[in-house]
Amino acid sequence: MSLLSREIRANFEGHLKPGSGEEELLGQIDCQRIPRHVAIIMDGNGRWAQKRRLPRVAGHRAGIYSVRETVETAARLRMQVLTLYAFSVENWKRPASEVATLMRLLKEFLRKELATLLKNNIRFETLGRIQELDPSIQKELAIAKAKTATNTGLLFNVALNYGGRAELVDAVKQLIACKTSTDGSDFSINEEALASCLYTAGLPDPDLMVRTSGELRVSNFLLWQIAYAEIWVTDTLWPDFRMKDFFEAIIAYQKRDRRYGGLSSQ
């Protein structure tokens, strides 16, 4: 067993529930080929609550547990980047009360989880039009980012007021601003230049995109970056998503043959 595998296995010691199947699934994961970047569309909170005859917001609250377990699992697996889709630019269409609860839960989460993020060497960042969020949220986000800025472990990215198309518009605006601020002579528009203006500049593209609740669509998430991501969809609703589900996604990912338009390496 390699040093990395040993280290990863040790990270999970005392955290695997006996009889849950987690240990067997972890055993099936090739620790040398953990996806560098996993992006997750956390969907199904409302349906989870509906099934229990609870208000939708109960589903959002229950989903926080899944976020915590998923972030911890990613860190233990020594993943580089985990991006969670928490609020889209389209989600403003929902009733104001639901939006307000989501924002309140976010604030609560940031306050409660900061210590755990620090303890686990996790760096917190966001992607999306943060400047349009309530100033009290912006403040909380800025604190979490500043306090974790020098952490060197997992990068935990939360997509907030995020839209893939909005991101492309913002990137193009930035590119044009760049062009007009220089004399333009050494300026060219190419994939690299555009990618460097995205919210994800400098990060590897997602290797794996997970969507919960069985919906077969990308809902305006990371449109540019998922060009060659492997997609894994589960019927599990987000509040039921656990370490075991995350392991299953990674195992499925590791069985895929990523060709990038070329020929199979096998």
Q: Rule CB under 6 A: say whether 158 interacts with ligand IPE.
A: no
Q: State the binding string over 177-196 for ligand IPE (x if CB under 6 A, else -).
A: --------------------
Cβ atoms of residues 175 and 196 within 8 Å: no
Q: What DSSP state is assigned to residue 206? A: P
Q: Which of 43, 205, 207, 245 is catalytic?
A: 43
Does an H or E element contain 176, and which?
helix 164-181
One residue of 22, 43, 167, 207 binding Mg ion per CB under 5 A: 43
For residue 130, with 0-12 CB atoms within 10 Å meaning exposed, 13-18 middle and 19 or more buried, which class applies? middle
Q: Rule CB under 6 A: say whether 45 interacts with ligand IPE.
A: yes
Amino acid at 230: E
Is residue 43 part of the annotated active site? The answer reads yes
Query: Could you say which of ligand IPE, Mg ion, none residue 163 binds, taking C-beta under 5 to 8 angstroms by partner kind?
Result: none
Q: What separation in angstroms does the CA of 131 have from each of 94, 141, 162, 171?
A: 20, 11, 11, 15
Report the C-alpha gap between 186 and 147 in whole angstroms: 38
Cβ atoms of residues 233 and 258 within 8 Å: no
User: Closest CB to Mg ion among 73 and 213?
Assistant: 213
User: Closest CB to Mg ion among 2 and 97?
Assistant: 97
One residue of 26, 29, 46, 236 binding ligand IPE per CB under 6 A: 46
Binding site for ligand IPE (CB under 6 A): 41-47, 85-88, 91, 102, 213, 215, 217, 219, 238
Binding site for Mg ion (CB under 5 A): 43
- Catalytic positions, written as ranges: 43, 91
